[in-house]
Amino acid sequence: MLRITDVRTGESTDAVRARRGLARVRVHLSEGSGTDTSALRVLLVADVLARAVEIGGTPAVIVGDVSVDLRARADALGIRRAEGGTTDAGPALHVLAAGDTVTEGIGVEVAPVTGTADPTLLRMILLATPRREPVDLDAADLEGARETLARWRKSVATWATRPSKPVPEAVRQELRAAWEDDLDVPAVLDVLRRLESAEDVPDGARFETYAYADRLLGLELTRDIGTVR
């Protein structure tokens, strides 16, 4: 069960209290945010949150008003589009910038971003930092992010040519425990790093595990399948 620290109370709470129905993930963006990367991070966290809720068995919708320019940047990062309007269907999860407040539902806080980075690496860089910690893109390890993404995509494409094996149950549980603990995406990435060189895991199981984790991460880790012989 996904549990989130509610910014209103500081306490961990079930993100979705009922399995049935529709979970409503509302993004809160300040007026004039434009193409601000901090606002983009709010959208990214909402996207990953909705993915986690859906993997847990509850359909989710992202709701909020997003400018055309910010939507274009979000599209480039593979972020699900928010629906305009104020639909009241389903329980409310409010994703908002640090310092902002909500009066109902569960508040999911997102720290600001400063600096600039290659858009093709931005999703990876932002996911690698806990959402409540600020990100300075000018100090980020851009080359490390580039190398990791390229290596993982190539490895996944290679593993895809091997006989398929199921995700090891212990690994599946470790992944779920990570993202269900306050959406700890950096811990999910750590699991993949360890699995990459685990000698006791068949390549086919590595492929299925990375594909499974990418349902949450959205890093297009299976993008290069068919390009490796």
Q: What is the CATH number of the domain that holds 173?
A: 1.20.120
The neighbour count for residue 152, using CB atoms within 10 Å, is 21
Residues 159 and 183 in one domain: yes
pLDDT value for 83: 87
Average pLDDT over residues 68-85: 91
Residue entry with tokens 């593979």: 78
* Total of domains in the chain: 2
pLDDT value for 21: 77
210 CB-near residues (< 8 Å, 6+ apart): 152, 155, 156, 159, 192, 195, 221, 222
In a domain, 110, yes or no: yes
In a domain, 229, yes or no: no
pLDDT value for 101: 86
Cα 58 to Cα 56: distance, rounded to the nearest angstrom: 6
In a domain, 228, yes or no: no
pLDDT value for 34: 54
The neighbour count for residue 126, using CB atoms within 10 Å, is 24
Higher pLDDT, 31 or 224: 224
The token pair at 18 is 């009922």
Q: Across the strands, what pairs with 25?
A: 62, 93
Residues 127 and 150 in one domain: no
pLDDT value for 85: 61
103 CB-near residues (< 8 Å, 6+ apart): none
Among residues 77, 107, 139, the one where a domain terminates is 139
The token pair at 54 is 């859906």
Residues 164 and 195 in one domain: yes
Note whether 183 and 52 are within 8 A (CB): yes
User: Which H helix or E strand runs over 110?
Assistant: strand 106-110
Note whether 210 and 141 are within 8 A (CB): no
- pLDDT of 209 > 60? The answer is yes
Average pLDDT over residues 137-163: 96
Cα 96 to Cα 216: distance, rounded to the nearest angstrom: 20
Binned at pLDDT 50, 70 and 90, residue 91 comes out as low
Residues 166 and 76 in one domain: no
pLDDT value for 220: 97
Residues 133 and 149 in one domain: no
In this structure, the strands spanning 135-136 and 113-114 are parallel
* pLDDT, tens digit (0-9, with 9 covering 90-100), for 8-19: 999 999 998 765
Binned at pLDDT 50, 70 and 90, residue 92 comes out as confident
Number of helices followed by number of strands (H, E) in the chain: 7, 8
Residues 70 and 124 in one domain: yes
- pLDDT of 31 > 70? The answer is no
| Sign, Cα dihedral of 16, 18, 23, 25 | negative
Residues 129 and 19 in one domain: yes
- pLDDT of 90 > 60? The answer is no
Question: What domain range includes position 113?
Answer: 3-139
Q: Please give the sequence-ordered ranges of beta strands (E in DSSP) within the chain, or none if there are none.
A: 3-5, 12-14, 23-28, 60-63, 92-97, 106-110, 113-114, 135-136
Among residues 111, 139, 167, the one where a domain terminates is 139
Portion of the chain with pLDDT greater than 90, in percent: 79
Among 91-105, 117-131, 145-159, 197-211, the least confident range: 91-105
Residues 135 and 157 in one domain: no
- pLDDT of 117 > 70? The answer is yes
Binned at pLDDT 50, 70 and 90, residue 102 comes out as confident
Residues 129 and 176 in one domain: no
Binned at pLDDT 50, 70 and 90, residue 22 comes out as confident
Binned at pLDDT 50, 70 and 90, residue 33 comes out as low
In a domain, 15, yes or no: yes
Cα 134 to Cα 145: distance, rounded to the nearest angstrom: 17
Average pLDDT over the chain, rounded to whole?
Answer: 92
Among residues 106, 139, 172, the one where a domain terminates is 139
Residues 118 and 158 in one domain: no
- pLDDT of 218 > 80? The answer is yes
Average pLDDT over residues 143-169: 96
